[in-house]
Structure 1
Amino acid sequence: MFDTSILFFLLFVVIVFVVKTVNVVPQQHAWVLERLGKYHATLGPGLKIVLPFIDRIAYKHSLKEIPLDVPMQICITKDNTQLEVDGILYFQVTDPMRASYGSSNYILAISQLAQTTLRSVIGRMELDKTFEEREAINHAVVGAIDESATNWGVKVLRYEIKDLTPPKEILHAMQSQITAEREKRALIAASEGRKQEQINIATGEREAAIARSEGEKQAAINRAQGEASAILSIAEATAEAIRKTGSAIREPGGEGAVNLKVAEQYVEAFGKLAKTNNALIVPANLGDISGLIASALTVVKSQEGRGKA
């Protein structure tokens, strides 16, 4: 019985020795090893051998990106308005040794620093700017925290504001302002539409008037050109007729033909005068028709002489 107890004791000691000696560090983890109470090494992923009762795994850190919820707090803006703000911070342990010995609680330190930095950044902004400059606030918080977190072996990756909640009175006033601004934009848009409509109508009327005037101008030009062409054609025809008449007179028998034509026109003219009036018009010297014909011939010859000159 005694021998069996010793055997079990020895077996227990061996198991404890093996458990204390052989350690397996998971992937994306780092363990801080102390030897006799002093920092000795940082164990990376894999199988690690330590000395039992001499070495001790003092700290275990995850090297993954860690989200940290920053509690909601009340911040005062530059225009003295209270604003409830909360956010989420993402960080990663980059130096396990510093994370172990640089701060007693680096997570609490990061959270508190994020809150104080956020109050400082928002305190330099007016209320309206806090809603417009979220990205700038996030970058400012990350820059301020990351500078201090380096001593704690931590890298701050980013900070995101989740909610910005002003008091109910401010929310109501902002809603009223937004409604008024939308109504203002609607009125401006309607007036711009009416203005553009009037401009379009005036432009259309002006272009139509110009088109009509251009049409009338072109029609007048066409009529004038037509009338000029007609007058020129008549003048050319008359001149040609006179030239042909003169040529015909110079031919044998031409003078007699002219005498006959003048006599016919003379008689025809008196006949028309007689038809247009109730009274019959008779020439004073009816027997001197041959004299009139001679006078007409004299005129024709004089015109012919001028044409030759």
Structure 2
Amino acid sequence: MPFSFIVPLIWILLAILLIAFLASNIVIVPQAKAYIIERLGTYRGTWNTGLHFKVPLFERIVRRVTLKEQVVDFPPQPVITKDNVTMQIDTVVYFQITDPKLFTYGIESPMAAIENLTATTLRNIIGDLELDQTLTSRDIINTKMRAILDEATDAWGIKVNRVELKNIIPPAAIQESMEKQMKAERERREAILVAEGKKQSAILVAEGEKESTVLRAEASRLAKIKEAEGEAEALLTVQKALANSISLLNQAAPTEQVIKLKSLEAFTSVADGKATKIIIPSEIQSLAGLATSFKEVMVDPTQTQQK
């Protein structure tokens, strides 16, 4: 190959290498990230989201820091309560890096420092509480720990947002005692629920019987009212019929004999009652004799002869 062709090829290769070298120093910082830059071993600055160019050979990225909220679950720590009960407690810490520079240069191992600080703070707080208070005061313990850790880690560029006691594990003997207490409490609540159910059932039965009695009394009252109304209506009907018969009798202009005959019929109906003594007017007595004579005349003569 002629020398004249080799020289341009070398320049092309050098240009490609130069472009690749420069491109390797173009840095894009993604969202929720921050890069710590040093120049010749000295802090140069903090790169936030965007496009940046690193000076070759002089600048380097020391640490890539995430600005998102992070969660660290620390293993159980042995703590002793005020009444000398040893238990295991593990914690969960929610934190966020607010100052990447302090986080990088403030302390050597931030996570180890937070873990040790959490364990120390937890022992100090639990040491002032008895077992019962420890088991029932999670929110108070969480609040105190968050305040202490947030103040201590502020110099490291870290903000502690929340601290949670994940598990509180008392000794085995205490666990058995607690389980027995919980079982007794469940049984007591079940007994209360059963008694309450029986009480409500008895109340419902009594109310049902009461309503049934009221309904029966109301039905009896309405039946008596209906019966009285029926009797009154029947009596009114009889009175109307009697009045109509009297009106018709008056319209027919009855003779004295007809009136006396009606009177006799009335006294006949009276005689059918339970009266033991009846006083008959003289007019009706004579009419009764007339009726007897009329009856004898109407008797069959053959029957008379047979007698």
TM-score (norm 2): 0.66
2:172 and 2:272 map into 1 onto residues whose CA distance is 110
CA-CA distance at 1:26 after TM superposition: 7.4
Residue 209 of structure 1: how far off its partner (Å): 0.8
Is 1:72 the equivalent of 2:37? no
Per-residue CA deviation, residues 35-57 of structure 1 (Å, 9 max, x unaligned), is 5x6544345675411665xx777
**Residues 22-41 of structure 1 mapped to structure 2, 5 A cutoff:** 27=29, 28-33=33-38, 35=40, 38-41=42-45
- Matched residue, 2:55: 49
One-letter amino acid of the structure 1 residue matched with residue 207 of structure 2: T
Tell me, which stretches of 5 or more residues in structure 2 are unaligned?
1-20, 274-279, 291-307
Alignment of 1:141-220 (within 5 A): 141-220=145-224
Question: 1:289, CA displacement in angstroms?
Answer: 2.0
Check conservation: 1:94, 1:155, Cα contact below 8 A.
yes
Match of 1:112 in 2: 116
After superposition, give the CA deviation of every residue in 1:90-112 in whole Å (9 maximum; x if it has no partner): 43433232223333443333222
Could you list the per-position Cα deviations for residues 132-186 of structure 1 after superposition, in whole angstroms to 9, with x for gaps in the alignment? 5545544543333122212111233443433221111111011001110111111
**Which residue in the other structure is 1:12 paired with?**
none
The answer to whether the 8 Å contact 2:82/2:126 transfers is: yes
Give identity over the alignment, percent.
35
Distance 1:130 1:33, change over 3 A: same
Aligned to 2:286: 289
Note closer, same or farther for the CA distance 1:145–1:263 as it changes in structure 2 (3 Å cut). closer
Shift of 1:230: 1.7
Structure 1: distance between partners of 2:228 and 2:272: 34
Task: Report what 2:92 is aligned to.
Answer: 88
Equivalent-residue separation in structure 2 for 1:146 and 1:264 (angstroms): 121
Equivalent-residue separation in structure 1 for 2:73 and 2:213 (angstroms): 73
Question: Which whole-Å CA distance do the structure 1 matches of 2:209 and 2:222 have between them?
Answer: 20
Trace 1:97-108 onto structure 2 (pairs within 5 A). 97-108=101-112
Between the aligned partners of 1:257 and 1:219, the Cα distance in structure 2 is 44
**SS of equivalent to 1:74:** strand
1:222 aligns with 2:222: no
- Count of matched residue pairs: 255
C-alpha contact (below 8 Å) 1:85/1:164 kept by paired residues: yes
Helix, strand or coil for the counterpart of 2:78?
strand
Kindly report the root-mean-square deviation, in angstroms, between the aligned alpha carbons of the 2 structures: 4.0
Secondary structure (helix, strand or coil) at the match of 2:74 reads strand
2:54–2:60 contact (8 Å) kept in structure 1:
no
SS state at 2:54 partner: strand
TM-score normalised per structure 1? 0.65
AA partner of residue 289 (structure 1): S
Note if contact 1:86-1:163 (Cα within 8 Å) is conserved in structure 2: yes
1:256 equivalent to 2:250? Answer: no
Indicate yes or no: 2:234 matched with 1:237. Answer: no
What's the offset of the Cα at 1:254?
2.0
